[in-house]
Chain A
């Protein structure tokens, strides 16, 4: 509750700041607010508060993701300050970011379909605006339009599924639906199965899982680089957690109806994402497809649905987000604010132009590829362990092959940075960016040392 109030306050406050002319203090204010949300989640630990007639449930799982989403947003904000403040309507962007995060918070703590719907919409509507925030850029326009059309299309499916579930069970509460699933596990009506399929379609759009991923590369490429990095990390995390909450509490009792569908979606997502990324010439697009592929790995934990799944997804999303954010921040600087993205040659000679950035992109790519000493490896390790515990051997083998493919395109950037020459001038980093890279590299190494310690929290 406190974190929701805090964020709404920050969002509204950011809009008012435009009027009373205190825009200069917005950045520290928002950063403090985000740190306070992390603090509040730690303070509320182990309380398990039920809000609004049990429509929101702030259990440890929700608090953990509230804290991790705030941390990711904080890291994002430090790097994105330049983007936010060089263009017009500064306070609007802060406000929209805060509202997006608010939607994400609701999505990780909902206990009722109403809240799921409202959370998704708060998050999406703010993002439609952010995606189109470069008003005169045709790429940004197109991204906003595609995101808007696909987002509301997916919402339609989700809502139809919710309506059918309401018709069968007579309630929007996840607990009641779960109770119904347990009681009628033997004879689930066709209408209920149709509802599950529709809800899967709606949520798969949001996590950008194949075959509903086609909007993702276009939208991530077209939107401003910084907004794209926010979408690909925070939104994906929130959507996969929404998926997980729903399946843990309700549909987990009837795996027969959905497990085959999700397995097919998982394999398709991993392979379409990884194989298409190999052929990309545009780095931003390559990262977008890599995001699709990572959604596939995350879905493995969902298929398994063991006690380890929650922890594995928490660890994976955190590590994935830190690495992807760092890659996008570096891409943003390297591409000289060119919205539609650049080819791999933009990274040529980065090791000479700025060694810290070259190190950053290397660590980030190695972590995304899942090379052992880095945290990304342990993320994959836990996801695969969860799948093996559930006896899903074939899925794990397919996933390992898919992640081998991914090594190819991640290494293309590293090779460009270290082995190709360029005669461009060295890059000067601002202290904030330097701090950001060092912090991210440190986090990716540190998290690799303490995976068990983190995963225990999510149990």
Chain B
């Protein structure tokens, strides 16, 4: 009974709101990647981008009554976890060599 109420409330929010919310989240993620200088925060911003996509997929799936979108979300979550594992490993490797996590230190390669 309670679950039905929750579902009804969720469907009560129009699809456009979900699209807008994920677009805003995605943009915050993109801007974060472009403007922040700390590698850990950049990683979090990339996660934010992926989660914006997850939200959008789940919303489309729910509104279409189609499970494909929600299954795709699982794929994204699994792959993002693998990606972050590798990303943090790279981060640790860099921290061991340079003793900080500032991206401005990584500018040996240019023109």
Contact = CB atoms under 8 A, between A and B. Distances in A.
Interface stretch (A23-31, A76-84, A132-140, A432-440): A132-140
Interface string B82-102: 110011011101100110000
A148 B106 contact: no
Nearest to A165: B60
B39 A145 contact: yes
Contacts of B26: 156, 160
Contacts of B53: 156, 159-160, 162-163
A427 interface: no
Nearest to B15: A167
B82 to A, nearest CB: 6
Interface residues of B, number: 42
Contact of B94 (A145, A159, A167, A222): A145
Given A139-B109, A143-B109, A163-B57, A156 B46 contact: yes
Interface in B60-111: 60-61, 64, 66, 68-69, 72, 75-76, 79, 82-83, 86-87, 89-91, 93-94, 97-98, 103, 106-110
B109 A218 contact: yes
Contact of B109 (A121, A170, A222): A222
A141 B33 CA distance: 19
Contact of B90 (A114, A148, A153): A148
A171 B68 contact: yes
Contact of B110 (A149, A167, A171, A218): A218
Contacts of A132: 90, 93
Contact of B60 (A136, A167, A340): A167
Interface string A49-63: 000000000000000
B87 A152 contact: yes
A167 B72 CA distance: 13
A121 B75 CA distance: 11
A172 interface: yes
B96 to A, nearest CB: 8
Nearest to B80: A152
Interface string A141-157: 11111101100110110
Contact of B97 (A136, A163, A171, A340): A136
Nearest to A137: B97
A171 B57 CA distance: 11
A117 B109 contact: no
Interface in A110-129: 113-114, 117-118, 121, 125, 128-129
B82 A121 contact: yes
A403 interface: no
B46 A114 contact: no
Interface string B44-55: 001001101100
Contact of A128 (B56, B86, B107): B86
A114 B82 contact: no
23 contacts: A121-B79, A121-B82, A125-B79, A125-B82, A135-B93, A138-B97, A141-B97, A142-B94, A142-B108, A143-B109, A148-B90, A149-B46, A153-B33, A153-B46, A156-B50, A159-B53, A160-B49, A163-B53, A166-B60, A166-B69, A166-B72, A167-B60, A217-B109
Interface of B: 19, 22, 26, 29-30, 33, 39, 42, 46, 49-50, 52-53, 56-57, 60-61, 64, 66, 68-69, 72, 75-76, 79, 82-83, 86-87, 89-91, 93-94, 97-98, 103, 106-110
Given A114-B72, A141-B90, 19 more contacts: A114-B75, A117-B75, A117-B76, A118-B79, A128-B86, A128-B90, A129-B89, A141-B97, A141-B98, A146-B109, A148-B87, A149-B39, A152-B83, A156-B30, A162-B72, A163-B22, A163-B57, A163-B60, A170-B66
Interface of A: 113-114, 117-118, 121, 125, 128-129, 132, 135-136, 138-139, 141-146, 148-149, 152-153, 155-156, 159-160, 162-164, 166-167, 170-172, 217-218, 221-222, 340
8 smallest CB-CB distances across A and B, nearest first, come from A156-B49, A218-B109, A167-B60, A159-B53, A163-B56, A142-B106, A121-B79, A152-B46
